[in-house]
Amino acid sequence: MLIYSIEVLKGIMCELIQCVVDIFRKKENDAAIKIQSWFRGCQIRAYIRYLHRAATIIQKQWRGYLGRQQYQVIVKLAYYTMKMNLYNAMAVRIQRRWRGYKIRKYCFNYYYLKEYLKAVSETNDAIREALEEFADMKEREEKKADLEREEKERDYQARKMHYLLSTKQIPGIYNSPFRKDPDPWELRLQKAKPLTHRGPNVKRKPCVSLSNWLACTSARSFPRSGILPPIDRKRCQGPFRDISEVLEQRYKPLEPTLRVAEPIDGLTEARAQLQKQECERNVNDNMFLPFSSYHKNKKYVPTMHLSSKYGPDAYGTQHFRDENPKRWICNKDFQTVLPSFDLFSKYGKMYSKAGQIV
Amino acid sequence: MSQRQVLQVFEQYQKARTQFVQMVAELATRPQNIETLQNAGVMALLRPLLLDVVPTIQQTAALALGRLANYKDDLAEAVVKGDILPQLVYSLAEQNRFYKKAAAFVLRAVGKHSPQLAQAVVDCGALDTLVICLEDFDPGVKEAAAWALGCIARHNAELSQAVVDAGAVPPLVLCIQEPEIALKRIAVSALSDTATHSPELAQTVVDAGVIAHLAQMILNPDAKLKRQVLSALSQIAKHSVDLAEMVVEAEIFPVVLTCLKDKDEYVKKNACTLIREIAKHTPELSQLIVNAGGVAAVIDCIGSCKGNIRLPGIMLLGYVAAHSENLAMAVIISKGVPQLSLCLSEEPEDHIKAAAAWALGHIGRHTPEHARAVAVTNTLPVLLSLYMSTESSEDLQMKSKKAIKNILQKCTYLPALEPFLYDAPPNILKHVVGQFSKVLPHDSKARRLFVTSGGLKKVQEIKAEPGSLLQEYINSINNCYPEEIVRYYSPGYSETLLQRVDSYQPLTN
């Protein structure tokens, strides 16, 4: 018993020691594992960090490259736009000057129009004055003629009534003694020569005197403008060019290109003008409405009633089958294909009081 | 019975005939007797007396027939049916001057009523004899013959052609140069009636050299002659540009303008008609008239007349202004527009008002300057009221509508446009709002005035279909103003404000 008891004791001691040591060993193993894993983790994280940094640098460079490309494009575009704007502005300046020059020189002279209108209004005033004078003159002449006619009448009357003149013995009717002065008729009668016997009735035709007529028929009476140069002008000395050539060059007419000859929107303006002219003549402003069937292009879809071969039923038919059995297709009755729905199946069977309403 | 008794019977008969014919001739001068005479069968009795032996009876019978035919056209037809005309024409060739005068009078009296009767006169060969009478010595015969030819030529172109083919024009031109005023008048009137109908006839008359004589006769002091002369010249000038130019080359300007100051109304009217017929052909002729100061003279003439006399003058202004904008400006500076608007407001007749509206439309339609000149005189409201009134005739309504439309399309004078916002019908309102939308974006003072005068408020109240032109104009006007102001003036804004007050919950702290 003692022999193997040492071995047993050894064995038992070893086991005891192993138990105690095992726990330590496990602990230390675990600790070592933890340390190693932590360290490995740090290593790998550092590596990954390094990789991230590298990737970031690459991406940064690449994005910078792309952005710079884009920026170049934008700058080019902006530069191009700036140049075109400048050119357009300069072209507008040139066109403005040219159009102004062309209109002023070849098409329409504003100052000439102003002068013309001034001249017209001056002519109008002159004509109005002249006509007023003419009318006054005619009136005066008429009045004078009237007065003369009346004088002649009165003279004639006086000559007819010469016998009413007063004598020394008998005062005439126009020379009443109760008056201070004799009547003017009395004086007229004194001056009148007695009428002789009437001769044959001579009708004197009214004669038209030349002095009554206005004498401004010739165009030369109207003022003429423009002085011609004197005929005997001496030629200027010197090697001058031929005058006709110079004048030809100076007053050369404009030969515009087709592009310039008409304004750039001439077509639209002409269209607008034509439209306005036609619009003036229109009686009615409204546009003509389109023909009413123009948009009716949908195909006609007939209703079920019309598309079936059995025809519509009169309203209020209570049977779906024909009442005449001879016209039935088959002898069997109709089948219900659809189930009847339970509208009233829950009637009176709800649990709550509120359901009683159902 | 003795010879003397036999002769006495004849003398009695002759006296009876003479007395009968003289009494009938005298009774025929009074219109009330003519019915009775007709019923008593006077035509049948006068007919054999035309062939009487005694010349005096013939003449008096012809005179009585002429007076009867002059009065009514069925009596004239009875003359034609009774085959009296060939006898007259035959004896025209050989009798003395009194008979010729009476016979020509009968032909005139028959020919003046209708073209058919005039054709009947022509068919019995009267034209040749009348032309022969035109070359007679006695001015009375010439006058009667010329008058008859004029009455025949007046009706239509075929009869005028027949008169011209009979060779009547050269003797008529000679008659014009005679010293007697009555003969001159009648000859000019006959030539004018001939030249009226067609350009070829007018050319034939002009080829006989008549224009120079007519141009000289404008200066004659006799009013009736002047009437006829001016009418003749206008009938010649109205057909074509060449004839009008020929009339102008006879140097009638500025002498014609003195006729515009004549006392006789019809001389003024015919002078205006002549100027109008010349002006309406081409812009160059209108410019000639403007340069001679004709427009001012015509405007003064319009001012001094009333009624139908004004009508040719108004039409002249319209024609001159229609040719070009420079001429329209010339009409404006001659102070034509106030005169025309006066005519528009004070004339009672619709056709004169229509002519004035037409003329104003042509003056104002060229450029904004012209439209402003018309709008300043406050004519546009008058035109609008004429368009809207139910009493105006259709022609007047149409012309005033066109005039308003044409002037509004160019008018940028906003004070004149504002009243239109309130009482214009929708089709005119569209143009008015369009004009506002063109002017307001560029003028800040106008924008301010538009708001303060209540125009913006009115524009908001206008209902327009979305997408229509009117809505676009309203939108462009609204874009000129800040949003609050547009909302402030929109209709129903006070209600929306009050609703917001109702629905607002005050913050309770």
Q: What Rg do the C-alpha atoms of chain B give, in angstroms?
A: 34
DSSP annotation string for A80-144: HHHHHHHHHHHHHHHHHHHHHHHIIIII--HHHHHHHHHHHHHHHHHHHHHHHHHHHHHHHHHHH
Cα distance between residue B153 and residue B172, in whole Å = 13
Name B299's Cβ contacts closer than 8 Å, sequence gap at least 6.
B313, B317, B334, B335, B336, B339
Binary contact (B402, A276; C-beta < 8 A): no
CA distance B406 to chain A (A): 7
CB-CB neighbours of B182 under 10 Å: 17
CB of B359 within 8 A of CB of B320? no
Q: Shortest Cα distance from B409 to chain A (angstroms)?
A: 9
**Torsion angle of alpha carbons B475, B480, B483, B485, nearest 10°?**
-110
Instruction: Give residue-wise pLDDT tens across range B156-168.
Output: 999 999 999 999 9
Dist. CA B353–CA B196, nearest whole Å: 27
Residues A166 and A211 occupy one common structural domain: no
Q: CB contact, 8 Å: A222 with chain B?
A: yes
Q: Answer whether residue A185 is part of any domain.
A: yes
d(CA A115, CA A123): 12
CB-CB: which of A124, A205, A280 is closest to B334? A124
Q: Cα separation of A7 and A260, whole Å?
A: 130
Percentage of chain A beyond pLDDT 90 is 34
Q: Do A219 and B251 touch (CB under 8 A)?
A: yes
Distance CA A160, CA A170 (A): 19
Residue A69 lies in a domain: no
Residue given tokens 């070359």 in the structure block? B135
The answer to whether B255 contacts A121, with C-beta atoms less than 8 Å apart, is no
pLDDT at B253: 87
The gap from C-alpha A97 to its chain's centroid, in whole angstroms, comes to: 27
Within 10 angstroms of residue B358's Cβ, the number of other Cβ atoms is 23
- Give the gap in angstroms from C-alpha B366 to the nearest C-alpha of chain A: 11
Q: Supply the pLDDT for residue A201.
A: 63
Q: Radius of gyration (Cα) for chain A, nearest Å?
A: 67
Question: Does the pLDDT at position B370 exceed 60?
Answer: yes
Q: Which residues of A touch B251 (CB under 8 A)?
A: 217-219
Cis preceding linkage at B254, omega within 30? yes
Distance, CA of A269 to CA of A275 (rounded, Å) = 10
Q: Kindly list the distances between the CA atom of residue B398 and the CA atoms of A102, B68, B311, B373, B389, in Å, as whole numbers in the listed order.
A: 41, 47, 18, 22, 12
Q: What angle do CA B295, B298, B300 make, to 5 degrees?
A: 110
Pick from B112, B103, B204, B98: nearest CA to B150: B112
Query: Is residue B320 within 8 Å of residue B327, measured between CB atoms?
Result: yes
- The mean of the pLDDT values for chain A is 81
Q: How far apart are the first and last CA of chain B?
A: 155
Q: ipTM, 2 decimals? A: 0.83
- Of A27-36, A278-287, B36-45, B408-417, where does mean pLDDT reach its minimum? A278-287
For residue A176, is it within any domain?
Answer: yes
As a whole number of angstroms, the distance between CA B30 and CA B71 comes to 10
Decide if pLDDT at A213 tops 50: no
A180 and A151 assigned to the same domain: yes
d(CA B89, CA B151): 17
By C-alpha distance, which of B192, B154, B160 is closest to B173? B192
Share above pLDDT 70 across residues of chain B, in percent, rounded to a whole number: 100
Q: Quote the Cα angle for A328-A334-A336, to 5°.
A: 160
For the segment B345-361, what is each residue's pLDDT rounded down to a tens digit?
A: 999 999 999 999 999 99
| Chain B interface mutation, best of A108, A120, A214, A222, highest count of B Cβ atoms under 10 Å | A120
Find, in chain B, the residue whose alpha carbon is nearest to that of A276: B406
Q: Which two tokens stand for residue A342?
A: 């339970």
Q: How confident is the model at residue B37 (pLDDT cuts 50, 70, 90)?
A: confident
Domain that holds residue A249: 206-230+239-260
Lowest mean pLDDT among A28-32, A104-108, B416-420: A104-108
Judging contacts by C-beta atoms under 8 Å, the chain A residues touching residue B398 are 283
Looking at chain B from residue 365 to 404, which residues have their Cβ under 8 Å from any Cβ of chain A? 365, 398, 402
Interface test with B, best of A107, A113, A123 (most B CBs within 10 A): A123
Nearest CA in chain A to B404: A280
* Interface touch B258/A126, C-beta < 8 Å: no
Contacts A218 to B, Cβ<8 Å: 251
For residue A93, count other CB atoms closer than 10 A to its CB: 10
Judge: B254–A217 Cβ closer than 8 Å, yes or no.
no
SS (H, E, C) B21-87: HHHHHHHCCCHHHHHHHHHCCHHHHHHHHCCCCCHHHHHHHHHHHHHHHHHCHHHHHHHHHCCHHHH
Query: Does one domain contain both A171 and A216?
Result: no
Q: If we measure between CA atoms, which residue out of B463, B383, B378 comes closest to residue B416?
A: B378
Evaluate whether residue A153 is within a structural domain: yes
Would an 8 Å CB–CB cutoff place B278 in contact with chain A?
A: no
Asked if residues B222 and B253 have their Cβ atoms less than 8 Å apart, the reply is no
| DSSP state, residue A298 | P
The amino acid sitting at B413 is Y
Range with lowest mean pLDDT among A202-216, B422-436, B477-491:
A202-216
Q: How far apart are CA B151 and CA B145, in angstroms?
A: 10
Instruction: For residue A214, list chain B residues with Cβ-Cβ distance below 8 A.
Output: 219, 255, 258
Is residue A215 domain-resident? Answer: yes
Q: Is there a single domain that holds both residue A186 and residue A210? A: no
Residue A176 has pLDDT above 90, yes or no: no
Asked if pLDDT for residue A356 goes beyond 70, the answer is no
Phi, psi (deg, nearest 5) at residue B41 = 80, 45
Asked if pLDDT for residue A221 goes beyond 50, the answer is no
Question: According to the model, what pLDDT value does residue A298 have?
Answer: 81
Provide the percentage of residues in chain B whose pLDDT is more than 90. Answer: 61
DSSP calls for B243-287: HHHHHHHTT-TTHHHHHTT-SSHHHHHHHHHHHHHHHTS-HHHHH
Interface test with A, best of B178, B184, B253, B255 (most A CBs within 10 A): B255
Same structural domain for residues A182 and A210?
A: no
Please check whether residue B482 touches A, CB under 8 A.
no
Minimum distance, in Å, between the CA of residue B432 and any CA atom of chain A: 15
The per-residue pLDDT for A216 is 44
Instruction: Strands of A155-255 (E only): list them.
Output: none
Q: What does the pLDDT look like over B176-221, one tens digit per residue?
A: 999 999 999 999 999 999 999 999 999 999 999 999 999 999 998 8
Distance (Å, rounded) from C-alpha B358 to C-alpha B373?
A: 16
Greater confidence (A23 vs B119) lies with: B119
Token pair of B332 as six digits: 């404006």
Residue B491's pLDDT band, with cuts at 50, 70 and 90, is confident
To test the contact with chain B by mutation, choose from A111, A115, A124 the residue with the greatest count of B C-beta atoms within 10 A, namely A124
DSSP B177: T
Higher pLDDT, B162 or A318: B162
Q: Residue A185 has what pLDDT?
A: 85
The pLDDT-based confidence of A218 (bands split at 50, 70, 90) is very low
Mapping DSSP to helix (H, G, I), strand (E, B) and coil, where does residue B470 land? helix
Does residue A99 sit within a domain? Answer: no
DSSP-derived secondary structure for B435-466: HHHHHGGG-HHHHHHHHHTTHHHHHHH----T
Contacts of A327 (CB under 8 A, 6+ apart): none
Q: Among all residues of chain B, which has the CA nearest to that of A223?
A: B292
Query: Nearest by CB to A214, which of B219, B260, B292?
Result: B219
Chain B hits for A285, Cβ within 8 Å: 427
Closest Cα partner for B82 from B100, B106, B101, B52?
A: B106
The chain B residue lying nearest A221, using CA atoms, is B254
A171 falls within a domain: yes
- The HSE-up count of residue B404 (CA atoms within 13 Å, CB side) is 28
- pLDDT at A140 exceeding the cut of 90: yes
Question: Which residue reads 């040139």 in tokens?
Answer: A94
Question: What is the number of domains present in chain A?
Answer: 2
CB contact under 8 A, B330 and A117: yes
Cα separation, B449 vs B431, in Å, equals: 20
Query: Among A141-145, A285-289, B281-285, B386-390, which stretch is predicted with the lowest mean pLDDT?
Result: A285-289
Alpha carbon distance A99, A259 (integer Å): 13
- DSSP H helices, chain A, are 2-102, 110-160, 184-191, 243-250, 258-261, 266-281, 304-307
Chain A residues in contact with B297 (beta carbon < 8 A): 127-128, 131
Q: Does residue A253 lie in a domain region?
A: yes
Contact present, B339 and B318 (Cβ < 8 Å):
no
What is the DSSP secondary structure assignment for residue A176, as one 8-state letter? -
Reported confidence tier of residue A211, pLDDT bands at 50, 70, 90:
very low
Residue of A nearest to B330 (CA): A117
